[in-house]
A and B are shown apart, each in its own frame.
Chain A
Amino acid sequence: MSVTPDACRHARLYIGADPRGLPADVTTHLEGCAACRGFRDEMQMLDGKVHAALELPLSEFRRRAPPARRFALAASVLLGVMIAGGVWMFRPASALAGEVVQHVEEEAGSWDGRQPLPPAEIAGVLRTASAQFDSPYPVVYGYPCPFRGHRVAHLVLQTPAGTMTVMLIPHEPLRRRTAISRDGMHGVLVPAGSGSVAFLMREGNVPEAMVDEIVSRVSW
């Protein structure tokens, strides 16, 4: 068995460790060592395949965790948080309102929808956001947005009172209704079972009757 020179052993360590990020001394060595160049080429080929192998197809990840495990995890997280001071459950509604407004501002294009979304698309948004909602008005925008570490249904409805943003937030319980008025938007945060629903409009105030009707059609 041939003995590999130290310079080659050094080069091969770096090639094996990171075939595409070689330090200068290894690159210099490769210029004069055909055997190590061959090793580098093999390892770069292999590395491309390793990249492809690690890129698992995510369609296989849709299956949810068993309910018992999810419940146990949720319960343990909740207990831990409550022991830590109970601030999570009822963080100030004003902070939540501020984040809702900021989210809507940063997704300003959501106001521009005019065409009602197909029912299947709406159903997909609601499913991803773990919400159920039978909208009494056409939904012209919908996306399961990440919000405070969860997915929430960010919807825009065309109502007789005007364009209305409705965010279904299943993981943020509220004690009481909280008015929102900020940056030209007006609305309300409303408790809805174990979660909450945020309403925002850019023109005028959100009619109470609409709030009540919409909340009555939301469940988690």
Chain B
Amino acid sequence: MNTASRGTTGSGTFTRLLEMLRPDLLRFAWWLARDRSVAEDVVQETLIRAWKSREELKDPAALRPWLFTIARREHARLFERKRLPTVDVDEVEALGDSALASDGDAALIDLRRAIMKLPDEYREPLVLQVLGGLSTAEIAMELKLTQAAVLTRLFRARNRLRTLYGLEPAEDVE
């Protein structure tokens, strides 16, 4: 019997899928929180919540965006509930967070720092799109924005990163 015909709710199948996606969930949570401990907490909560709600997931292909939206909401919930301090990106950078710098590629490290410094409103849709695989329509639904607003934010996010590679920023869009 294949995965699709069994659905995603068989515990073994489901847990294996969670296991496969955990690394990207952790990366996603880090980019939201920019803090390893918080990212771990977010992922833990996400997996528990996903497990409890597994019957709600009818389409196995939708697992990835489904999990990422849970993680995003868990991150927001964690901040709201615990009133965690806002991350000071200069402090994170000054501390030389090894998650940013561990693979030793200077250009990649610079890009990570630049992404980290993007305003939340630009970084969040970018990470949802690139790591989460969400479409602009899905991001719009999740962030409660119009699709046009999501397009603009994604454009501005990438446009700000162009200068790192000696590229002139494009004319802004409205």
Instruction: Decide: A12 near B155, CB < 8 A? Known: A61-B99, A69-B37.
Output: yes
B100 to chain A, nearest CB (A): 8
Residues of chain B with a CB closer than 8 A to A49's CB:
107-108, 111, 165
User: Interface-forming stretch among B24-32, B60-68, B87-95?
Assistant: B24-32
Contact residues, B64-108 vs A (CB, 8 A): 81-82, 98-100, 102-103, 107-108
* A146 close to B102 (CB less than 8 A): no
User: Is A24 interfacial (CB 8 A cutoff)?
Assistant: no
Residues of chain B with a CB closer than 8 A to A103's CB:
11-12, 15
Instruction: Decide: A56 near B15, CB < 8 A? Known: A9-B173, A13-B152, A61-B99.
Output: no
Contact residues, B121-174 vs A (CB, 8 A): 126-127, 129-131, 135-136, 150-152, 154-156, 158-159, 161-162, 165, 167, 170-171, 173
* A60 close to B158 (CB less than 8 A): no
User: Is A16 interfacial (CB 8 A cutoff)?
Assistant: yes
B149 to chain A, nearest CB (A): 11
* A50 close to B102 (CB less than 8 A): no
A110 to chain B, nearest CB (A): 11
User: Interface-forming stretch among A37-45, A134-142, A177-185, A210-218?
Assistant: A37-45
Mark contacts of A26-43 with chain B using CB atoms, 8 A cut-off: 1 yes-contact digit, 0 otherwise: 000000000000010011
* A54 close to B11 (CB less than 8 A): no
* A56 close to B10 (CB less than 8 A): no
* B98 close to A60 (CB less than 8 A): yes
Residues of chain A with a CB closer than 8 A to B154's CB:
16-18
* A50 close to B23 (CB less than 8 A): no
* A42 close to B155 (CB less than 8 A): no
B17 to chain A, nearest CB (A): 9
Which residue of A13, A69, A73, A145 contacts B151 across the interface (Cβ within 8 Å)?
A13
A107 to chain B, nearest CB (A): 6
* B12 close to A106 (CB less than 8 A): yes
Residues of chain B with a CB closer than 8 A to A47's CB:
130, 158
Instruction: Decide: A54 near B165, CB < 8 A? Known: A13-B155, A59-B102, A106-B10.
Output: no
Mark contacts of A54-89 with chain B using CB atoms, 8 A cut-off: 1 yes-contact digit, 0 otherwise: 111111110111100110010011000000000000
A177 to chain B, nearest CB (A): 22
Residues of chain A with a CB closer than 8 A to B57's CB:
none
* A66 close to B37 (CB less than 8 A): yes
Besides the contacts A54-B130, A65-B37, what 18 more A-B pairs have beta carbons closer than 8 Å?
A: A13-B173, A14-B151, A16-B156, A16-B159, A16-B173, A43-B158, A47-B130, A54-B27, A56-B27, A56-B99, A57-B103, A61-B30, A61-B36, A65-B40, A76-B82, A102-B10, A106-B12, A149-B47
Give 10 CB contacts A-B under 8 Å.
Answer: A13-B152, A45-B165, A46-B167, A50-B158, A54-B130, A58-B27, A65-B40, A103-B11, A147-B15, A150-B48
Residues on B close to A: CB < 8 A? 10-13, 15-16, 18-19, 22-23, 26-27, 30-31, 36-37, 39-41, 44-45, 47-48, 50-52, 81-82, 98-100, 102-103, 107-108, 111-112, 115, 126-127, 129-131, 135-136, 150-152, 154-156, 158-159, 161-162, 165, 167, 170-171, 173
